[in-house]
Amino acid sequence: MSDVPLRRLSLRLAVLALFALALCAPAGAATIVRLHANRIAFYYDRFLIEADGNVRVQTSDGMTVTGQAFTMDLRLNRFMVAGHVHVDSPSGSQDGAALADFLSFNRVYFVPITTEPDRWTFINGDFKHPVKGLVMPGDTFYFPDLAHARVYLYARSAVIGAQAFVRFGPSRVALVGHAYVPFPSYYLNFSTNQNLGANSLAGANFDGTYQFAGNANAISAVHVRYDTVNKAYLSFEQHLSSKNAYAVFSLNPATTTSKYWNLLLDDRPSKTFEIQTFTQLHTVQYGLGQPFQAQQVTNVQLTQALKRAFLQGNYQFFNASLLAPFAPNINAGAINAFFPYHPSNASLGISTSDEQFGKLPFFERMRFGFGFQHNSYGLQTIGGVPYTTIWDHYAGFTIYSNPIRIGSPMKRFTDLYLNAILDKQRTWNSTPHYIDTTSTTFSLSKTFNQHLSSYLMYNVNNTGDYYTNGLQSVAYAPFVPALNGSSYPGYAAFHGQATLRTLSLGATYTNLDYFTFSLLARQHKDFPAPIPFLFPLPPTNVLGQFLYPNFLGQPAFDITGDLRFRLNPHMSIDISRSYYFNYENLRWTPQFIFQVMQ
């Protein structure tokens, strides 16, 4: 089987796995509560649901309750119905003044209307044999005080999955202030299922998430997004989850010609073994018409936990064109773009667990591994020899300290803490080439009070790019750059060994409620020294941030301010910008980095 059909087959298998996971997902929460009323109000900041007028409650254990008023605390997982209560259960009917269902404890407390005042308790769904006169919790029939609370959502129906989710019917949602916007439905997940929190979307400056459907094991969401590259656009994301697996599919952006179709799959067949895949299909197309450009990348990762280590294998392949070579495209009115490249790489490595040096506050972990890279069109040419496959193996270690206190343990806000990290690795290649990397970091941190903290950090990154068999001078021939009428003879000393030194001073102020401001000042002393306009600045992501933190040609000085404040209990705004002190005529970053977070 050739490479291209193999890659297409893997993509189809990944899609089939998504549907298989959806079919295998368990049926939802343990208890389902269906609520109908003339008016349902949801208080987001307190996770309370209040309802009044023709209240009707149906539970998945066969109980139906009607009344005048309803309240439910989603965190405490209990609800109450009061006022002319009528209960229908598999054991019959009964009128009463109030009913409270403590779902987590399988207990229903009821005040019946009988000739003599009484209180009944139904245990484990046994409505035939009420326990009469049992002492009840003091707040069993308590209505919360909502005099100063703000309603986030109004509806007339809701489906509540105990300790998992709530899905409202047609709703009016307060997006800004007291302006309520109608929605056909509204879903909110509040479970502890971390699998539903997996994300396959790229970053954005603004993301307004509308979850319109879901249950305890699935979420369907439309995202209204904005970033500096794609501007305003829509995206779609689908989450599916089972006990030991999950899948996330997204189309992002969905309303531009350049679309990314993402599929993230994760399965844990046992407590010690995990399989994770990520597949991304990039198409250039008008709407959902025939693409005139398509690429695919897939990464497969296998992780096996050992007694004091873990073993991890990775395989990645990329296909630069999934379309027929140079075929006409009826939608684009042009010839399909075709690129024949399909490189792949694989690695297998083992990392040890953290081990302490005796009783000292220092720990170490080691890593070893090997792998290969392959591209039939060539990876590298060294000494006139082209290489289509390069094997490599590596060995490395990390030594770090726990925070070491400098000062008296009796003084809460006056102590200094010292942290240190050393990381070193060598990678050998099947070509006459090896790479050494060393990173050393020391930091001092101090908390002045409950609002203000600061740190001082010094980091040194060494990278040595070495070629053997006398090829070092070929790969790094002496070079004296001349730019804007100035020459830089010191650069001729660079032969592939770079040292990046960074001194950082940071401080953060927070009022603990809704406001945080941080300031970071850095000085870079690098070799080779930053020569203006010689080293291009690295590309940025859609947020305007550099894609990697360390690079040759960093500005000698920079300072960054970041402001984050909370608009409401579930939305924050983060604004940051950097100043580069006129390096390469660059003062401020081109734009503010602006992000709205939920």
Q: 77 or 338: whose pLDDT is higher?
A: 77
Q: Which CATH number fits domain 32-163: 2.40.50.140, 3.30.43.10, 2.60.450.10, 3.40.1390.10?
A: 2.60.450.10
The tens digit of pLDDT for each residue in 522-560 reads 999 999 888 878 877 777 777 777 777 778 888 889 999
Confidence of residue 250 (pLDDT cuts 50, 70, 90): very high
CB 247 within 8 A of CB 199: no
State yes or no: pLDDT of 351 exceeds 70. yes
Tokens read off for 567:
């608009």
Whose tokens are 């799959």? That residue is 265
Whose tokens are 């319109």? That residue is 212
Identify which of 326, 423, 430 has the alpha carbon closest to the alpha carbon of residue 372. 430
Whose tokens are 């709407």? That residue is 287
Q: What is the pLDDT of residue 2?
A: 43
State yes or no: pLDDT of 355 exceeds 50. yes
Confidence of residue 473 (pLDDT cuts 50, 70, 90): confident
Give the pTM: 0.81
Identify which of 225, 213, 210 has the alpha carbon closest to the alpha carbon of residue 169. 213
CA distance 561 to 506: 10
Q: What is the pLDDT of residue 338?
A: 65
Q: What is the pLDDT of residue 481?
A: 84
Q: What is the pLDDT of residue 5?
A: 44
Q: What is the pLDDT of residue 327?
A: 55
| Bridge partner list, 543 | none
Where do the domains of the chain lie? 1-22+191-342, 32-163
Confidence of residue 409 (pLDDT cuts 50, 70, 90): low
Q: 367 or 137: whose pLDDT is higher?
A: 367
State yes or no: pLDDT of 568 exceeds 90. no
Q: What is the pLDDT of residue 6?
A: 41
Q: What is the mean pLDDT of the chain?
A: 86
Q: What is the pLDDT of residue 588?
A: 81
Interacting residues of 594 by C-beta distance below 8 A, sequence separation 6+ = 205, 206, 573, 574, 575
The tens digit of pLDDT for each residue in 478-517 reads 888 888 777 888 888 888 899 999 999 999 999 877 889 9
The tens digit of pLDDT for each residue in 296-350 reads 999 999 999 999 999 999 999 998 888 776 555 555 455 556 677 789 999 999 9
Interacting residues of 219 by C-beta distance below 8 A, sequence separation 6+ = 187, 189, 196, 211, 213, 237, 238, 239
